[in-house]
Amino acid sequence: MISSGMSLVVQPTAPPTRSAARAVFEMNLCKYATNRDLSSLYQDGQARAAQLHFILCTAQ
């Protein structure tokens, strides 16, 4: 649209919008960090359980 000569109007965002966007961004970072840690925990747990001849059951 801009390449065809139309103008682009930008407005500042309201503080509540910025706060909400920041909170969502931080939640996603938290989610990915938690998932990564859980993944390594399950891998370590399975490796240790296999060495001890236990079967580790995880709910899916």
What per-residue confidence (pLDDT) applies to 59? 55
pLDDT tens for each residue of 22-59: 888 888 888 888 888 778 877 776 655 555 555 555 55
What per-residue confidence (pLDDT) applies to 19? 92
pTM: 0.41
Residues 6 or more apart whose CB falls under 8 angstroms from that of 45 comprise 56
**Domain layout of the chain by residue ranges:** 18-52
Summarize the confidence of residues 1-15 as an average pLDDT: 83
Q: How far apart are CA 42 and CA 54, in angstroms?
A: 14
* pLDDT band for position 11 (cuts 50, 70, 90): confident
